[in-house]
Amino acid sequence: MKKDFYLLAVLLTSLIVSCSDDDPIPAPVVVTPEVVIPDTGAPTITLVGSSTINIEEGDSYTDAGASASDEVDGDISSSITTSGSVDTSTPGTYTLTYSVSDAAGNSVELTRTIIVAVATKITALAATGRVSEQTPEQARSTINGKWNFPESSAKSSYSSKLNTCEFDFIEFTDTTYFLAIDLEGEFIAVSGPYELNEDSEGNVSSVDLYYYTGEIDVVIATLTDINVIEINDEIEASFTVNLTIPDTADFDSCNELSGTYSDVGKEEPMQQSYAVANTSTSSDTGSDTFVSYIDPITHVTLINNTWSFQGATEEGESYTVVDELEDWCYYEECDNDGNCVETAVEGCSPPTSINLQFSAYGSYNLVFIGGSEGTQVEAGEWIWIDEPGPPMFYIIEDGYTDVMEILNLSESSLILRDEEGDTYSFTSI
């Protein structure tokens, strides 16, 4: 019996030793619930590029877009939506809006301003190539400008002994041509619309020049094989011209000028047409910088247009187009005693409209349209007066120079005043 108690004591002692402070019983594990913080912060959106973009009318525009990030969702750039559009063919101010939302519905937006300014480029002066390999749009850019015929222009199909005419220049705008001819010392300017004829592949096969005879529009010339190249930084053209001037025109003898021409040089636009100013001072001479007073938009771009004459105010009296042309079909006959009478020209009818066109190449044309004598053109030269003050320019015709001041100039209206104070009003075509 003692032996049994002894064994029980040993077992209790062993149990007490195993449960000592050196080997405590593990504490129970307590799990704390995760606290979810609501996502109330808006994402961040950043424009790629400038917030204001300035381009010119006709330029291409590709938007750089934007990027966005969120503290919770990370990069969310792919969720950005863009609203608004840009019409590069129409000057104005456009706004693009970029919007983005995170997964919690927090949103943010940002805007970019695109300013499309009126184009200051007169034309693509360096356009070259064979017109027969170009679309009408490309060909129009290639032939656009003023082309001067050299005195010794190479022609293949006429005898100089029979020649009484010489080509001076031909100028193309977007829709109109002006052809200057020297007919036995008399300067003749011809004007009208031109047509680009296309082949089966959509390329320009020829260019027809139209002329109003007083009754109908007829083709007086067809240009083919037009090739424009650049040589030593100068643009030159070669082409073949077939003239079909009707015998009702007083310059029909110039049909003998039909032939192939080369080395027809493209004239550079006058510097003021680009309002180019030398803004750098020469380090060698230390000369002063030149500052142009010609505004490239209001002075240059807008005036290079075709304007329809609306009326004039001369010596305080107002005149319409009809008033200005009322003496068109009359001429004055005087006897030996100096007695003069006005005589009407039989079968004559005056023009119905007058157009004025300014060219970036320093020429202007006053075109009388719709009369029985056909389209009549008075041509001259013009050049900006690059001085402080109101915008003015010189008109030069037959050695006579006049100063014209611009009283009003917009996309649709032009009002000029001459040195005598007479004003002339035009609207754009």
Domain boundaries, the chain: 44-117, 129-268, 272-321+349-428
pLDDT exceeds 60 at position 428:
yes
CATH superfamily to which 44-117 belongs: Immunoglobulins (2.60.40.10)
Q: What is the pLDDT of residues 288-297, one digit of tens each?
A: 455 778 877 7
pLDDT band of residue 34 (cuts 50, 70, 90) is low
Burial class (CB in 10 A: 0-12, 13-18, 19+), 419: exposed
Beta strands in 132-243 (DSSP E): 145-148, 165-172, 176-183, 186-198, 204-212, 217-231, 234-243
- In this prediction, residues 176-204 reach a mean pLDDT of 92
In this structure, what token pair is assigned to residue 231?
A: 């040589």
pLDDT digits (tens, 9 = 90+) for 193-238: 999 999 999 999 999 999 988 888 999 999 999 999 998 888 999 9
Please state, for a pLDDT cut of 90, what percent of the chain lies above it.
42
Radius of gyration of the chain (CA): 40
Averaged over 239-245, what is the pLDDT?
Answer: 96
Per-position DSSP letters for 364-429, written without gaps between them:
EEEEEESSTT--EEEEEEEEEE-SSSS-EEEEEETTEEEEEEEEEE-SSEEEEE-TTS-EEEEEE-
Q: Which helix (H) or strand (E) holds 2?
A: helix 2-18
Q: Averaged over 234-248, what is the pLDDT? A: 93
Q: How far is CA 223 from CA 1, 63, 144, 210, 230, in A?
A: 142, 42, 14, 12, 20
CA distance 364 to 102: 62
What pLDDT score does 154 carry? 41
Q: 282 pLDDT exceeds 50?
A: no
More confident residue, 27 or 86: 86
What value does the mean pLDDT take over residues 244-257?
A: 90
Contact assessment for residue 422 and residue 415, using Cβ atoms and an 8 Å cutoff: no
- The fold adopted by the segment(s) 272-321+349-428 is Lipocalin (2.40.128)
Whether the predicted pLDDT of 54 surpasses 50:
yes
Burial 170-204 (b: 16+ CB within 10 A, else e): bbbbeebbbbbbeeeeeebbbbbebebeeeeeebb
d(CA 319, CA 311): 5
Strand 259-266 versus strand 145-148 pairing type: antiparallel
> Tokens representing 311?
């009326």
State residue 373's pLDDT score.
84
Residue 160 pLDDT level (bands cut at 50, 70, 90):
very low
Pair type for strands 107-117 and 52-56: parallel
Confidence of residue 337 (pLDDT cuts 50, 70, 90): confident
Contacts of residue 222, Cβ cutoff 8 Å, sequence gap at least 6: 206, 207, 208, 209, 241, 242, 244
3-state secondary structure of 54: strand
Spatial distance between the Cα atoms of 207 and 214, rounded to a whole number of angstroms: 22
**pLDDT grade, residue 269 (50/70/90)?**
confident
Given a contact cutoff of 8 angstroms between Cβ atoms, the answer to whether 394 and 382 are in contact is yes
Both tokens of residue 236? Answer: 């030159």
Identity of the amino acid at 41: G
Confidence of residue 283 (pLDDT cuts 50, 70, 90): very low
Which strand ranges, in their side-by-side order, compose the sheet holding 81-83? 52-56, 107-117, 92-101, 81-83
Q: Residues 320, 308: contact at Cβ < 8 Å? A: no
Query: Does residue 285 have a pLDDT over 50?
Result: no
Whole-number pLDDT of residue 120: 52
Going by C-alpha positions, the residue among 228, 187, 231, 235 that lies closest to residue 207 is 228
pLDDT at 178: 92
Three-state SS at 132: helix
pLDDT for the residue 279: 41
Residue 130: pLDDT band (50, 70, 90) is very high
pLDDT at 28 over 60: yes
Kindly state the average pLDDT of the residues 247-261: 90
Give the residue, 28 or 404, on which the prediction is more confident.
Answer: 404
Higher pLDDT, 28 or 266: 266
Q: What is the mean pLDDT of residues 312-329?
A: 89
Average pLDDT of the chain is 83
Contact by Cβ (8 Å): 94, 110: no
Residue 187 has pLDDT above 90, yes or no: no
Q: What is the mean pLDDT of residues 312-340?
A: 87
The CA distance from 379 to 310, in Å, is 20
Which pLDDT score, from 0 to 100, does residue 33 have?
65
Q: Of the ranges 15-19, 195-199, 413-417, which one carries the lowest mean pLDDT score?
A: 15-19
Same fold, 44-117 and 272-321+349-428: no
- Closest-CA residue to 189 (of 164, 168, 216): 168
For the ranges 152-166, 177-191, 287-301, 415-429, the lowest mean pLDDT is seen at: 152-166
* C-alpha angle 117-123-124 in degrees, rounded to nearest 5: 110
pLDDT at 257 over 50: yes
> What's the confidence (pLDDT) of residue 122?
47
Assigned CATH class of 129-268:
mainly beta
User: Residue range 324-332: average pLDDT?
Assistant: 87
Name every residue whose Cβ is closer than 8 Å to that of residue 410 and which is 6 or more positions away in sequence. 302
386 has pLDDT over 80: yes
pLDDT at 29: 64
* pLDDT score at 274: 60
Instruction: Give the per-residue pLDDT at 287.
Output: 47
Question: Computed from CA positions of residues 299, 301, 304, 308, in that sequence, does the dihedral angle turn out positive or negative?
Answer: negative
Query: Are 258 and 157 a contacting pair, CB within 8 Å?
Result: yes
CA 299 to chain centre: 14
